[in-house]
Structure 1
Amino acid sequence: MQVDLEDRHVIVTGGAGGLGSAVVELLLDNGAKCSVPCFNEDELQAFEHKDHPNVFTHTPVDLTREGQSQSFYEAAVEAHGDLWASIHIVGGFGMGSIEDTPLADFNKQFQLNTVTCYNSCRSAINWMRESDYTGGRIVNIASRPGIEPRQGKGMTAYTVAKAGVAALTEGLAAEVVGDDILVNAIAPSIIDTTANRDAMPDANYGKWPKPAQLASQIAYLVSPENEVTRGGIVPVYGKS
């Protein structure tokens, strides 16, 4: 997919992962400058685009910590200039019936998914308002159970956490539209990644949406070509 992101700075949390790497690759191909926070050194070393001249990385960054999130965004802006867009892919999945999910595990899902998204959105908006750009773009990652909670049987904690991401997206989109910041989310079903194939070896992978397909949807939503879509939670289920 071709969009005009020439020299525009985009932060991609979770950019070293399966979906994140596909997003970063597409953004770089369309001229963007990307900043990617990594939780630890192992994640950084596994990131295939870490040595690209238009990529800024930093580690360790724990996006559940407000201060670390704010510090990363500040360092990224110092490295790559004004912030145009921020894509929030960091998260975590967890199965488990309610009797097998103590409050500590529920809180872990909430921290990994909702809190990281909130901290990233807050940091991004603060820098977008200081930017010389007119407005900006934010894309969050919800999930199918997050917008169809009856799909969340056996993973209620994850479902609630991703529903929080969807609600945050819709509320925030209304809050910042006056700043010309358009906030949206995609809601994938199971993504065709190596980790998901390993976890579900008997599944029909052909029905799962591919990282490159999702990256195209995200790239459009963060592009200047997207002039009107805000508050959307876009279902990206493939054929599953």
Structure 2
Amino acid sequence: MNLADQHVIVTGGAGSLGTAVVQLLLDSGAACSVPCFNQDEFDSFQFSDHEKVFTTVGVDLTEEEQAQSFFDDAVEANGPLWGSVHIAGGFGMGAIEDTPKPAFMKQINLNLVTCYNSCRAAVQHFKSQDSGGRIVNIAARPALEPRQGKGMTAYTTAKAGVAALTESLAAEIVQEDILVNAIAPSVIDTPQNREGMPDADFDKWPKTEQLAQQIVYLVSPENEITRGSVISVYGKS
């Protein structure tokens, strides 16, 4: 995939999946912009000092103004925006009787509101540039199969919102050559998930590098027709 001279924002780009996406984008010639929530996230990001990566510390994507400000700063630093990949989010378990409204709203904010704010800022830049663009969101298997979300209803609801946002927004802006898609992973093979589920069969989980391939294709100019899809990427799990 050739993304030479293209600029792609990757929210959550300092995490396990985000780092794999940034790596592949850089290998494909793109410049990347990555917001970091705090200094620890920045310090752990292996591309923080890369010449083609713009990053800022202290960006809370649940806040609309901060999201828009980061997108504005990224465009100023790395040029017109071609693509936006929205990986930022968070996982939460808990039966509904143990999940009060603040915990529910935390999942909504981390997963759905960050995605909405990022989509909105990206679309504003795409339309001002009048040159099309690509958006890729991250849903989850329970968003497509809600019965898989037992014991994590708040997370499932938030990710289902991401899936609905993806499909509705894709129909809204397709005439501007802005294609919007999402992937829906099962359990991603990351160190954190291995630690949390030590008895699982890790070989069945999709790898971050495999998911990055899917994401980078969808955000690339080579994707000319796929839009409004929430693609299941379950591996063998």
- State which of 229, 232, 236 in structure 2 corresponds to 1:235: 232
Q: TM-score, normalised by structure 1?
A: 0.98
SS of 2:156 mapped into structure 1: helix
- State which of 113, 119, 122 in structure 1 corresponds to 2:120: 122
The letter for the 1-side match of 2:85 is: I
Q: Which runs of 5+ in 1 are unaligned?
A: none
The letter for the 2-side match of 1:66 is: E
SS of 2:235 mapped into structure 1: coil
Separation in 2, partners of 1:236, 1:168:
19
Residues 1:172 and 2:169 aligned together: yes
Which residue number in structure 2 is paired with residue 202 of structure 1?
A: 199
Which residue number in structure 1 is paired with residue 37 of structure 2?
A: 39
Separation in 1, partners of 2:101, 2:38:
26
Displacement of 1:131 in angstroms is 1.9
Which residue number in structure 1 is paired with residue 78 of structure 2?
A: 80
Displacement of 1:115 in angstroms is 0.2
Q: Which consecutive segments of 4 or more residues in structure 1 shift more than 2 A?
A: none
The letter for the 1-side match of 2:171 is: A
The letter for the 2-side match of 1:160 is: T
> Residues 56-95 of structure 1: matches in 2 within 5 Å?
56-95=54-93
Separation in 1, partners of 2:216, 2:112:
22
Displacement of 1:82 in angstroms is 0.2
The letter for the 2-side match of 1:192 is: D
Deviation track 1:215-234 (CA, whole Å, cap 9, x = no partner) reads 00001001111000000000
SS of 1:92 mapped into structure 2: coil
Separation in 1, partners of 2:43, 2:67:
20
Separation in 2, partners of 1:50, 1:8:
19
Q: TM-score, normalised by structure 2?
A: 0.99
Separation in 2, partners of 1:87, 1:204:
28
Deviation track 1:104-157 (CA, whole Å, cap 9, x = no partner) reads 10000000000000000000000111226x200000000000111010010000
The letter for the 2-side match of 1:159 is: T
- State which of 180, 186, 190 in structure 2 corresponds to 1:189: 186
The letter for the 2-side match of 1:129 is: K
